[in-house]
Amino acid sequence: MKLYRRVSKQHYFKKGFYEYEQIMVPIPKEFHKLVKPLLGRELEILVKLLPPAQEGLEIVLKPKKASGTPVKPFLHVEKWLFRKG
């Protein structure tokens, strides 16, 4: 398995640009059943550096606790989703 790096550039009015980097970790097929319940949810991510004898990283994903008030979508999207006719 490899980690993947992607650099994205966004141009603004032909004067400048904003650049950001994403590092992606592919999930092997054998773990898809474990990961599917977490899709679309907000996650807490904890990354630990392992001791030199073990050499590597440990990545832990946990669902965030639900806050008291649900997040509402933008009003125009809500109107479009629930329109009649």
Contact 63, 41 (CB under 8 A): yes
Does the pTM of the predicted model rise above 0.85? Answer: no
pLDDT at 71: 61
Please indicate whether residue 75 or residue 37 has the higher confidence score (pLDDT).
37
CA–CA gap between residue 10 and residue 18 (Å, rounded):
5
pLDDT at 76: 60
